[in-house]
Structure 1
Amino acid sequence: MAADTPTPAARRPSAAKVRLLEVADELFYAEGINTVGIDRIIAEAGVTKATFYKQYGSKDKLILEYIAGRDRQVRESMTDLARSGPDAAATLRALVDTIIADTSRLDFRGCPFLNAAAEFPDPGHPVRRAIVAHRDWFTTFLEGLLERIGHPAPGAAADEIYLLRDGAMSGGYAGDPIAATSALTRAAARVLAEASHPSD
């Protein structure tokens, strides 16, 4: 190919493919991945079975696209928070605020990644591997923020904040969201204070 030959633009997904994923995303999160069958997704998306298999081939591939889509949403959201905040500490506070806002939504059903992991107990399953990759990215993102604010143990603090986030989202759904998010706010403030006043 000549150097000045334009590269073909990436093909946009068809409207049917987008619609199938939108329906799957809503149903998988609201009701559970294994509970929702392909026939229901096809019916609610308003497409034929042949169209579904042309676009995704199997429910397993659609599930992986669901996880990948949720992963993209989180990465884009966190990147936007980091870009718009004046500094790393403000980004961490904004992250806490985002979690609190999530738990107060009427359609909140907990963390989609934790929910999916509970449905796929085999750690070698592609869904579980995708979830691990997401969590590794998020932990690294948090560690980078904590390094920038000068936390004395950014890796350990990132693990702690992620665990607090998991607990707030699980407790916020299954129990008292106010208590869960209040505990998250207090703990996050303590972690930030450790950066300002590291112990000897």
Structure 2
Amino acid sequence: MARSARDCLLTCLENLSEGELRRFKAKLNEVPVRRGNANIPRGKLQKAETLDLTNMMVSFYTEKYAVQLTAKVLKAINCKDRAEELLIATGNRPQLRNSSNVHFIERHREALIQRTTPVEPVLDKLFGSVLSDEQYQKITAKETNPDKMRELYRLVPSWDLRCKNKLYEALKAKNPHLVNDLEGR
């Protein structure tokens, strides 16, 4: 069953740390909202738990705009990964997933294994945030680029959406022509 934008918004807010949630509430009251909408009063925001906050945002802004505004505020408080996850979960970033909800890196596995060259710059972008030192060493020890990519893909089934998005971003940054070619299919 597909999750509603409200459910995705609630999950996103529930996954924020206490500090992130405080910063989110403070910034939410400061950002300009679209014409015809008003900011949620500061007093109501400060007292609101995540469920109440979600309900307030949807009632003040509608589900769709609440998601857009949440992503904007998350980016402003340097929670860009959370913003991307929310946009993807609500269908606002279709380039990473297709209609069957298969992520770009899973959909183009074979082509990425065969065509990613060189692999090391991609691995360098993943090192520390996605790949441990041991994983990095194991992958770079392989002799050919396809073998390195196959070794990297052995990790993908255990990855969450954030990790898959980081691989997509690394591939896009280091091999933009390949990603653009595959996205054009």
TM bucket (normalised to shorter chain) is under 0.3
TM-score, with structure 2 as normaliser: 0.26
Which structure is higher in helix share?
Answer: 1
